[in-house]
Structure 1
Amino acid sequence: MTHGDGTWARAEERDGEVTVHQGGPRRLWDRLDDVRDYWIRHGELPFRGARATIGRDGVITLQRGRWKAVIGR
C-alpha cells in the first residue's frame, strides 16, 4: 500500500510467517489492522451506514457515531 505523502506498507509471507514492513509519516498497515479488528468485533465495517459529506475543497468526510474518516486531506 502507498499514499501520496510517502507512507507505504507491505507484507510478505515466508514459510507460514508474515512480516510487515512500513514507513513514512503514517502507519498504513496499523490503520488497516484497526479496521479489520473493528470488523471482527462488530460484524461490520465502521463505514457501513456512515454519513458522507464532500467539502468545496473535495475533501470527503465519513462519519458514523464517534467513528470518523477523512479522505483527501
Structure 2
Amino acid sequence: MTTEAVKGWEAEELCRVARPNTWEAWIVLTERPTDPQNPGRQHRLRGGPVTRTLGGHVLEQWQYEVTTGGRI
C-alpha cells in the first residue's frame, strides 16, 4: 500500500465516516474473506498483484469497497 492510499483512511477515520459499512466489511472479511455475497463491494484485488506469497503459501488478495472511494 502506498502512502497516498493511506491518507485519510486510518481506521478511526474510516469508522467515523462510514461506521455501518466498516462494521459490515469487518464481519464479511473475517467470516468469509473469499466468498463474496455482494460482488459489487467485495472482489479480487484490481490494478495490482492479485496474489501474495506468505509463509510459502500463495494467497489471493481481495478488497472490500467500504465507500465509493474507500477500499480495504
Q: How would you bin the TM-score normalised by the shorter chain?
A: under 0.3
Higher RCO, 1 or 2 (CA under 8 Å, sep at least 6)? 2
Greater Rg over alpha carbons, structure: 1
The two structures have a TM-score, normalised by structure 1, of: 0.25
Structure that is richer in helix per residue: 2
